[in-house]
Structure 1
Amino acid sequence: MSTQLQSPVESVTDMVEGLARAARAARAAQRQLAQLDAPAKEHALKLAAEALRGAEAEILAANALDMANGAANGLTPALLDRLKLTPERLAGVADAVAQVAALADPVGQVIDEAVRPNGMVLQRVRVPVGVIGIIYESRPNVTADAAALCVRSGNATILRGGTEAVHSNRAIHAALVRGLTQGGVPADAVQLMPTQDRAAVGAMLAAAGLIDMIVPRGGKSLVARVQADARVPVLAHLDGINHTFVHAAADAAMARAIALNAKMRRTGICGAMETLLIDATYPDPHGLVEPLIDAGCELRGDARACAIDPRIMAATDDDWDTEYLEAILAVAVVDGLDEALAHIAAHASGHTDAIVTDDQAVADRFLGEVDSAIVMHNASSQFADGGEFGLGAEIGIATGRLHARGPVALEGLTTYKWLVRGSGQVRP
């Protein structure tokens, strides 16, 4: 029988004990999951995708309740956009689960191999991390993405979604578990915390030995709390203060299209551009800013940027370090590549930064010197997404420098072990 977390806990002690029971059940389920071969996991995930499609009415009704509560509680338009599910978006969520099912299984992949002088054969092979705790806000699609990626990579997961998406998360989780269990995946392999009490997050962060890795996906305050309080290794996803630098040698039509798309396609995603840098010798700066203003974007600029168009407001120091996630954009005019690089080094969050230029030498230097998880040339930062990278769904964009960086998909949810095959060797 499943030991899924189902009933609200009544105290911090109860919560800690309940989490411990759930984590032990997850550990046992992960051992069972590890015995499933790649075709079995693929089949189970396809059934989960079909279950999501079959539960469209229930999931959308749950999401409508979350949207109404969010509006009543004053969520910003950007957060409401992250929260909202439509039939098209839900179909995309199900498609993403199916796409993960079709990906190559990383478990058991040989990373490298060597034969020692004494004849021993050494291999490093990919293995699941184990039990992964995922703490996230706003986006109900994370429930499905995280579950699919963890199952495909052989990990059990304990999910803790945000209060604003509680009904959506529960409906998505229920559908996923129906499909997965039909395919032979233990129900305890994908659990959803039943409480929105903040103490549940603290219990997860303190669960060393029970949870093997925590993945936070949310705003700066959530990630900061996780990093400060965790006694479990953390794979951090920080904010996206993303820059696009339009170099003097940029194609004007390309620069206009990229700048508009990078900001306005979807303002509430972490890959959205938050600062536009314009080379002082770029010949058509007004052609860059006018489409953004016409599209309803509020521009806040330095003195030289404000001189481009009277509708640009004066920026404050905070604007260069803000992830707006709405139709607000900081704009600065810089004296060439060196100043652009200096600005990015001072203000970027290490997420995604891009250059638009036809000068390959300048592009190569930008790609080499910008120290971000994703660095782009002549492309919109909105492509900062695991699906767009061919990785299937993603669990987040890791901005650190250890273990995994950039879109975290299947490989980022594995570690490795050494296999040593001998023929009787003893160490002298």
Structure 2
Amino acid sequence: MPVTNEETNVELQALAAKKASRKLSLLSTEDKNEALYILANHLEEKAQHILIANDQDLKAGQEKGYDAAYMDRLALSKERISDFANGLRQVAELEDPTGKTLSSWTLENGLLVEKITVPLGVIGMIYEARPNVTVDATGLALKSGNAIILKGGSSALFSNKAIVKIMKEALNETKIPSDAVQFIASTNREATQQLFTMKDHIDVLIPRGGGALIQAVVNNATVPVLETGVGNCHLYIDREADVTKALKILINAKTDRPAVCNALETAIIHEEWLEKNKEALSTACKSNHIQLHGDDVARTYLPEAIPATESDWANEYLSLDLAIKTVKSVEEAIDHIDKYGTKHSEAIITENKQTARTFLNEVDASAIYHNASTRFTDGGALGFGAEIGISTQKLHARGPMGLPALTTVKFIMSGNGQIR
């Protein structure tokens, strides 16, 4: 396939972003906040332009047979546009993460050493269906002093192009260079592959989407990657779990927004609890249209469940399907999570504090809950403002990544002629 002009422009876009990042990093908090408010206002004022473009994407998605969960992630409305515009305003209200002195000390020779926070530089954002990510990622990048190169999925191409066009026009009314926001419109793989290897121009790549996308970036990029993870999230209902509490949390974690990464995918249930509460669980799931996939033991109590296979334990359904795994102890539950979990969000429901402590201490995940829904693994819900993704790795950042995750440090030394 021949390389198009769009693709050859990817490097030029990266160079423009890098140049803009230097100016952006010097702007005051007030300048950045003012720009975010202007962006938010423009997006709301021109919402109809975005909706017309989004309608093109939705029609194309219907023709391609996208499932309901995928179409929900893709769809926009005036309310959703107002939500992500308000997200920009919320980010503007957050504390600026840059220019902070984390520590300072003076050496015996009188040399002053200061450790301060600075922007990463240029962020490459590679993501799939959600157009709101275009706005969320841009807001977080600009507030933290970073330029951003956006590479959205082809399914949201028209929506993303409309959003970025509006944002770049809005930036012309601010002190932030419009080149600080770049959007790669090419749908060819070559353009994405270029992003993977631009170490001289891009400081970090952040992939956000399904497992295949994330692994493609992790396995092929020479640019450092901040890895976000898929969410095969588990809820362990212990033998000493309160029934009302357990069912309320299970239904919320599964049905509130089943197509997002912090939704529940597998309920691990102590066999004694299931035996006592099978009717209540079955009724709750049926009334909420949850399709159960159970192991052999679970199906003796829940005969309506589909027989679970190995793939069910590893599957991120992103739908109203729920796997049921029965265990005889918290240790069995932890072993199952250790084997199939994605280190995203895990929860335990129990009134036994020691059992809860065992679970919280031994489960390896970026977010762990006791008697609460996994749906709180979200930058907004945890008070970070809009998030750029949820990191399931352990270096640099872990969990919901808000503004502080988009900074690094610089050491500044001030002396009076000291030599070594």
Given the two structures, how large is their TM-score scaled by the length of structure 1? 0.95
| Residue in 2 that maps onto 1:391 | 384
Q: What secondary structure sits across from 1:311 in the alignment?
A: coil
Q: In the alignment, which of 91, 98, 108 is matched to residue 107 of structure 1? A: 98
Given that 1:259 and 1:288 are in contact with CA atoms closer than 8 Å, whether structure 2 keeps it comes out as no
List runs of 5+ in structure 1 lacking aligned partners: 1-9
Q: Give 1:15 shift.
A: 5.2
Query: C-alpha distance in 2, partners of 1:46/1:125?
Result: 27
Query: C-alpha distance in 1, partners of 2:331/2:172?
Result: 56
1:390-409 alignment runs, 5 A limit: 390-409=383-402
1:175-194 alignment runs, 5 A limit: 175-194=166-185
Question: Do residues 35 (structure 1) and 8 (structure 2) align?
Answer: no
Q: Give 1:183 shift.
A: 1.9
Given that 1:45 and 1:179 are in contact with CA atoms closer than 8 Å, whether structure 2 keeps it comes out as no
Question: Do residues 26 (structure 1) and 17 (structure 2) align?
Answer: yes
1:64-93 CA-partner distances (Å, limit 9, x unpaired)? 221111011011111111111122211111
Q: What secondary structure sits across from 2:82 in the alignment?
A: helix
Query: C-alpha distance in 1, partners of 2:86/2:136?
Result: 10
Question: Do residues 247 (structure 1) and 243 (structure 2) align?
Answer: no
1:18-51 CA-partner distances (Å, limit 9, x unpaired)? 1221111111111111121001100100110111
Question: Do residues 290 (structure 1) and 297 (structure 2) align?
Answer: no
List runs of 5+ in structure 2 lacking aligned partners: none
1:311-322 alignment runs, 5 A limit: 311-322=304-315
1:229-268 alignment runs, 5 A limit: 229-268=220-259
| Residue in 2 that maps onto 1:64 | 55
Query: C-alpha distance in 1, partners of 2:17/2:194?
Result: 15
Q: Greater CA deviation, 383-392 or 174-183? A: 174-183
Query: C-alpha distance in 1, partners of 2:309/2:315?
Result: 10
| Residue in 2 that maps onto 1:118 | 109
Letter paired with 1:66: D
Question: Do residues 165 (structure 1) and 156 (structure 2) align?
Answer: yes
Letter paired with 1:393: A
Letter paired with 2:380: G
Q: Give 1:94 shift.
A: 0.8
Q: What secondary structure sits across from 1:203 in the alignment?
A: helix
Given that 2:7 and 2:186 are in contact with CA atoms closer than 8 Å, whether structure 1 keeps it comes out as no
Query: C-alpha distance in 2, partners of 1:286/1:420?
Result: 68
1:319-370 CA-partner distances (Å, limit 9, x unpaired)? 0001111111111111121111111101000111011112222222211111
Query: C-alpha distance in 2, partners of 1:133/1:395?
Result: 11
Letter paired with 2:321: I
Question: Do residues 328 (structure 1) and 300 (structure 2) align?
Answer: no
Query: C-alpha distance in 2, partners of 1:107/1:289?
Result: 51
Instruction: Count residues with an aligned counterpart.
Output: 418
1:276-425 alignment runs, 5 A limit: 276-282=267-273, 283-425=276-418
Given that 2:157 and 2:185 are in contact with CA atoms closer than 8 Å, whether structure 1 keeps it comes out as no
Question: Do residues 94 (structure 1) and 49 (structure 2) align?
Answer: no
Question: Do residues 199 (structure 1) and 190 (structure 2) align?
Answer: yes
Q: Give 1:422 shift.
A: 2.5
1:177-210 CA-partner distances (Å, limit 9, x unpaired)? 2223212211100011121112111011021211
Q: Give 1:11 shift.
A: 4.1
1:380-409 CA-partner distances (Å, limit 9, x unpaired)? 111111111111101111111111111111
Aligned-CA RMSD value: 1.4
Letter paired with 1:169: N
Query: Could you tell me the percent identity over the aligned residues?
Result: 39
Given that 1:293 and 1:299 are in contact with CA atoms closer than 8 Å, whether structure 2 keeps it comes out as no
Given that 1:122 and 1:421 are in contact with CA atoms closer than 8 Å, whether structure 2 keeps it comes out as yes
